[in-house]
Amino acid sequence: MIEAVFFDLDGTVANTNELIYQSFKRMFTDKMKMEVEDAEIYSLFGEPLTTSLLKYQEDITDIMDYYRTYNAEHHDAMVTSFVGVEEALKALKENGLKLGIVTSKREAMARRSLSCLGLLDYFDVIVTPEYTEKHKPQPDPLWKACELAGGIDPKNTIMVGDATYDILCGNSAGATTVAVSYSVIAPEVLKAANPHYTVDDLRELLQIIEEKNSEARSTYV
């Protein structure tokens, strides 16, 4: 039976796609004097910022500060919610499910995003890079979320995300994985991560959970 649903934050619950894109774009062009293709920038979505920046140089202090300063200054004006998100979260909570965020974003900024959208109180658990030594696509962040949610078996959870790292993390942890079709990641790339489901709207999770729970109940009959 599904007991908890864990979500990636950026690009899944919070529409920060343009904010993240512009933060990288300005960092590359203004700070590093580099021209980077959009597809390459989008490929960085979903992984910890440190991991992304180390691909370009060893000492990342200055460029990380530049990225984070730009991101923080423009965050509140650029963060929005996707259609149906709050309705889905409310319905899931009303059905007794634990909800959590599993993100590569730092905790302070993750909470800031959720607060801006009025969604913070829906979540029982927020797992950020500060909580585990290994990050997505490794399973550790989802395992940590299960632990913090009360020791839930990962097999009784759903992991929802817009990036391959989210799906790989969930699959490795033993969760049911759901990709969102509104991802900026190319559909074929996201599909290659082998999500169990793909949805256009988070409200579709309710039907998926009902189907999986019905299957589980029939097993015990």
Give residue-wise pLDDT tens across range 92-144.
999 999 999 999 999 999 999 999 999 999 999 999 999 999 999 999 999 99
Identify whether the C-beta of residue 171 lies closer than 8 Å to the C-beta of residue 193: yes
pLDDT in tens, 3-49: 999 999 999 999 999 999 999 999 999 999 999 999 999 999 988 89
Q: What share of the chain is helix, strand, coil (3-state, %, to 5)?
A: 50, 15, 35
- Please identify every residue annotated as catalytic: 8
* Assessment of whether the complete model's pTM goes beyond 0.85: yes
Terminal-residue alpha carbon distance, the chain: 14
6 φ, ψ (degrees, to nearest 5): -110, 140
d(C-alpha 22, C-alpha 43), whole Å: 14
